[in-house]
Structure 1
Amino acid sequence: MVISEVTMARLNNCNVLCHFSHSGVDEMVRLDPLLPADNTCHFGLNSLFADNGLSDTHSFLYFPADALQMTAVVQRVFFDRGLRFVFSTRSKVPYILKEDGKTKFFGDGYEFVPGKDETIVDGKAGYVVSFGEMLYRAWDAVLRCRELGLDVGLINKPSLNVVDEQTLKKVGASPFVLVVESFNQKTGLGSKFGTWLLERQLTPRYGYMGTTREGSGGLWEQIPHQSLDPQAIVLKIKQLSQ
C-alpha cells in the first residue's frame, strides 16, 4: 500500500513529507515493560525502496542520529518540494557527543545540510559509515579501537540516497570502509555504498553490517542477536584492518 501511494505521489509531482517512526530493529519504548514484543517484525523490508522512481526523478531519505539532529532535519526540509522520507528509531538513543565526551555534536551552531555526509572523527586506518540508531553504537566501537591505537574514523550519513562526492572520495582513499546499519543487509545502504565506490574507481577493503535474521520487534536483545552491538563492530573493524 505504501509503495502504491509513493508511486502515485511521484507520478503526480506531489509534495510529501513522510515519517517512518519504527525503523530499525532496536528496542521499542513501552509504557509497560511487561507487555509482549511485536512478534515477528518488519526487519526484511527494503526501506530504501521509498526512492523507487526512475533516474529523472528523485526522493530524499533522511535518518537522523539523535533527537537534536531530528529537530534540525525536520526544520530544514519541512518546506522543501518533492518526496521526503524521515526515518526514526523505535527507541531512545543518547545524544551524539564529540570526542571530548561532553560537547553535543548536533548542539548549538549545528545546521543540517541535505545530501552532506558528516565527519564525526577523521582516521587514517579506515572509516566506519553509519546513521540513525546505529551511529552511537558505531561511535562506541570506533572509540574502543582508537583507544587500542587503531586510528579509525567515523562518518554519519543522514542523507541515505545521495552521494556526497567529497566525503566518498575521502573514505574511498582510506585502507577500509565499513558500513554499519540496522536496515536489511541485502538491500540497505551497504549494498549500494560499495557500488558507489567502484563506480569512482575507489577500492578500499569493504564490508557492511546490517540486519540478517527474522525476530520479534521491540526487544533490546535484537541488536546483539543481529550481531550489531559495539563488540561485533569492533571485531569487523579488526578483520578489515588486518
Structure 2
Amino acid sequence: MAKNNGGKKKHRLSNWLWTILLVVGFTISLLLIFNEPVKLWVIGQTSGDATRSAQTLKSTDYAKNKAKKANFKFSSVKALDLSNVSKAALQRKLHPIGLIAVPSVKIYLPILNGLGSDNLTVGAGTMKPDQVMGQGNYALAGHHIHKQPTLFSPLENVKVGKKIYITDKKKVYTYKIVFEKVVDKSQVQYIDDSQGSHIITLVTCAADQILQPERQIVRGKLVKVTNASDKHLRVFMENK
C-alpha cells in the first residue's frame, strides 16, 4: 500500500508539473501573439493622456519644465517595446514644454525637453539644448511605427505645403512644410542651425524595422507668429 501511495503522489506531482508547464507555455504564446497590439494600445492611451495633460498647462509651467535637466543623446533612445512603454505609462513623470500639431495627418502631441525614452514614448522630444521656438532650426524627434496613427508615424503621409504648428502658450508658430525626404541616420546635418534661418525639422525613423538606418526628415519654414489666444490654440485640439 505504501508503494502504491508513493506512486500516486508521484503521478499527481507529474500532473501538476505538466499543468504548470502548459499554463506557462500558453501564457507565453498569448504574450507573443498580443504583444504588438497591447504595446500599440498602451502607446496610444499614454500619448493621448500626456497630450491632454499638456494642453491644460500654462506658459509658466512650460517655462519651469524647460529649466529641468534633460538628455539630448540620440544614441540613448530605446526602441519601443512593451517593457519601456509600460514603464512610461506607470511613471508618468513628464515635463511638457509645449505642443505640436500637424492637422493634415492628425498629429497632436506634447513637446518634451530632450530625448529621454519616456519623452519619446508619448510625444516629440527636442534634439538640442537651448532650442527656442521660432528661432534657428527647431528640431524635434519622434518614434515611427509603420502604418499606425500614433506619435510621428503619420508623417509618412505628410505633404509639402501643409502646416506644422508649435506653441509654448505665449506664441503660436506656424511653419509651412517645404520638403520631406528619407536619409541615412548618419546625416545629422539636418538638425544643425544655419544663420538667418527660422525653420522646424521633424526627425523620425522611416521604417518599421528597428535596425534599419533610415530617418525621415520633414522640414518647415516659419511663415507666421501669433499670440497664443484661445482662437489660435484651437489648432492643437484634435477634432474627432
- Identify the TM-score tier after normalising by the shorter chain: under 0.3
Larger helix proportion of the pair = 2
Superposition TM-score, scaled by structure 2 size: 0.25
Superposition TM-score, scaled by structure 1 size: 0.25
- The structure, 1 or 2, with the larger RCO (C-alpha pairs under 8 Å, 6+ apart) is 1
Larger strand proportion of the pair = 2
Pick the structure with greater CA Rg. 2
